[in-house]
A and B are shown apart, each in its own frame.
Chain A
Amino acid sequence: MSLEIIGTGWLSREAYGSEKLGRNIEYASRTELRKLGKEDGLFAYPVKNFGRLTEISQRVCYLTALALQDAGLEYAAGNKLNIGLLGTDEFGCEQANLDYFRDYVEGGRSMARANLFIYTLPSSPLAEAAIHFGLQGPLLYFRPQEQSIESLIAAAKRMIAEGQAEYMLVYELDSEIDRCHVIGKI
């Protein structure tokens, strides 16, 4: 038994797909990113309040659906899965931080918006996916100084080996092509 990447979903500004299933579907000419899930039936069941999620949270949800499908892992509403999430990007939640604080300042520094504040954590997009897909393993943002995905994959493998989760999802975000890898036993 070894721990390997058993499925990968990917998403760009123009297309999405998955590695094992060999999918490569262009969408930009016919629909917007936020409508993709509904129009292409990417989710097994609707993501609650999907339109209110930040764009990065929407992307993470798409990637999760594509990756789980690529790995042959099924999910269903109300079912919890022994799967964890590790994500990385270049600047954390910088844009969410700026959006939240600008809105608060422009509002007269009296009342902040909770629905912007909750995204001022780099782990929040992963949490949105965990809630929808019922993923109850470890969940954290892990940003290596040299931005190597290998560190995350190594951490994910350790987590599986020591029993923190049965599978781990490893996300590479904010690059030209976002990816989600499923790590599991083969």
Chain B
Amino acid sequence: MNRVWITDCDIITPYGLGTEACWQGLLSGKSALTKLERFDTAEFKSNMAGIIPGLEYHQGKSLVYQMFEKVFEGKSVPKDAKLMLATLNGEMDRIEEQVLYGRGEPHSGCMPNLLNAVQELCGIEEEGAVISSACASSTAALGIAGSMIRNGETDCVVVVSCDPVTEFLYSGFSSLMALDPGPARPFDEKHNGLTIGEAAGYAVLMSEDRARSEGCRNYGELVGWGMSNDANHMTGPLRDGLGLARSIEIALKIAGISEKEIDFIAAHGTGTVYNDLMEMAAFHSVFSSPRPTYSVKGGIGHTMGAAGLVEAVLALKTFDTGLVPPSVGVETPEPSADGWVLKNTIELDAEYTLSTNAGFGGVNSSLVFRKGGAA
């Protein structure tokens, strides 16, 4: 079995371009969520969002393509890698333009077209695939990529992920009464819904042998992945958390470690009451004692299919810096999160982390990472 290293990664988030900008934003405890001006929100339950400054809406290039242009500018990824595009629904603004203005060719807003465009943008020559598993899309893609490398099917996969803030998405979540009127406060006693955010990013996953031979940096090792389904409801999670717990247990088993070895948790933490309680129920069922836990969604919003990749990249920063960021927006943790969720940055010499995501249709995905450079 090959070991799987993360040899390169970067993201663009509402805090700005680059992992470091997002990391520093989270450590500051200040939220990047702001009043949304991209489209009229007067009829919706909220007017808050996590927006990347400087993107043009309905002006030519799609929002996600613009994000990818920024995140890949000056970067180089292995041309012989497999490409995996993970997204909720890709270029939703193209669908909007088609309906509102009659623009675009048939199927121009489809995900395979975005895959082709991203492939060209980053110069990858190998065949790619689109992965979509609701808000666990990029978590699932990282797991599949890890599995392919571990089993020797390939020695390098580039996972790219993105989702934008669009009227399409915003109106839908508003109709589901899922939006917090203010900025999302995951795991806080006053949590009252999510705030939609946008992000894009990439991670290069490589076999240890190839990474060593090419002198690549090891940001962290992907050692476990688990996927499950609640088989319960299209939009609501299984309240006892056993669906998510199942994915965590599978990830731990593949990693070959016990729950005791997980040092901190990068949680999904959307800010909806149902999700936060479900997730804490899952953690209580799997873990024998509380672990430092945070959600980034009070800082950048729920970045949908991109959430897992963004959260994984940020979790790797803890290995590098020895810091675990606070769960932005938490003042008083809701009771089941008390003793777990961080209100402030802490120092931690972590060896393993767990990152979790869940989504519509009952999907759950979990990843376990090990500190880079470990023998």
Contacts and interface: CB of A to CB of B under 8 A. Distances in A.
A94 B104 CA distance: 13
Interface of B: 40, 43, 88-90, 92, 95-96, 98-100, 107, 109-112, 115-116, 119, 127-134, 137, 140, 144, 147-148, 151, 153, 167-168, 171-172, 174-176, 226-235, 243, 246, 250, 253-254, 360-363
B116 A145 contact: yes
Interface stretch (A4-12, A22-30, A64-72, A119-127): A119-127
Contacts, number: 178
In this complex, the interface size class of chain A, counting residues with CB under 8 Å from chain B, is 35 or more
A114 B176 contact: yes
Nearest to B98: A98
Interface in A85-140: 85, 90-94, 97-98, 100-102, 104-105, 109-114, 117-118, 120-124, 126-128, 130-131, 133-140
Q: Is the interface of A mostly helix, strand, loop or mixed?
A: mixed
B3 to A, nearest CB: 15
A118 B235 contact: yes
Contact of B175 (A80, A111, A151, A164): A111
Nearest to B39: A109
B246 A136 contact: yes
Given A111-B175, A159-B147, 6 more contacts: A90-B112, A98-B99, A105-B100, A127-B363, A137-B229, A143-B111
B89 A121 contact: yes
A15 interface: no
A123 B175 contact: no
Contact of B227 (A84, A111, A141, A146): A84
Which of B100, B111, B133, B226 has the most A CB atoms < 10 Å from its CB? B133
B133 A164 contact: no
A74 B29 CA distance: 52
A138 B140 contact: yes
A13 interface: no
B127 A122 contact: no
A158 to B, nearest CB: 5
19 contacts: A80-B231, A92-B110, A94-B95, A97-B92, A102-B99, A104-B168, A122-B89, A124-B361, A127-B362, A131-B232, A136-B228, A136-B231, A137-B228, A138-B228, A139-B133, A140-B132, A144-B128, A159-B227, A164-B227
B115 A145 contact: yes
Which of B167, B172, B233, B362 has the most A CB atoms < 10 Å from its CB? B172
A143 B362 contact: no
Nearest to A92: B111
A110 B167 CA distance: 11
Contacts of B253: 163
A111 B170 CA distance: 11
Contacts of A111: 43, 171, 175
Nearest to A87: B132
A79 B116 CA distance: 41
A33 interface: no
Contacts of A100: 168, 172
A164 B151 CA distance: 15
